[in-house]
Amino acid sequence: MREINNERPEEHWWMVNCRGKSILDLGCAYNDVDEEKTRENKLGTPHYFIGQEPAAYLGVDLYQPDIDQLKTEFPQARFLCESIDSPEKIRGYIKIGRAHV
């Protein structure tokens, strides 16, 4: 098992092919030791997953400024700013993702 100690998705999602798939990205905002550098270099999971041309992408996070930026940058994707605090919410996100394929 590999240790994940940064927000560089290519280091821990390299084996996932997202093309044509539905992606649910929980905690999609920039959350790294150097968040500004991560934002500037577009190293977050939204850039990685959306760059692979999924059929649908839904990103969820609590940090509104990042959600606003990502909505502007990726109008083809869907982003929600809310707490991920129950299994029911996750099931709801999965249903939303299926509805947008």
The answer to pTM > 0.75 is yes
Amino acid identity for residue 89 in this structure = K
Q: How confident is the model at residue 37 (pLDDT cuts 50, 70, 90)?
A: low
3 state DSSP class of 76: coil
Q: Is residue 88 part of a domain?
A: yes
- The total domain count for the chain is 1
pLDDT of residue 42 exceeding 70, the answer is no
Contact yes or no for 101/25 (Cβ under 8 A): no
Nearest in space to 76 (alpha carbons), one of 42, 43, 96, 50: 50
In angstroms, rounded to a whole number, what is the distance separating the alpha carbons of residues 29 and 44? 7
98 contact partners, CB below 8 Å, separation of at least 6 = 22
4: in domain: no
Residue 42 domain boundaries? 27-99
Is residue 6 assigned to a domain? no
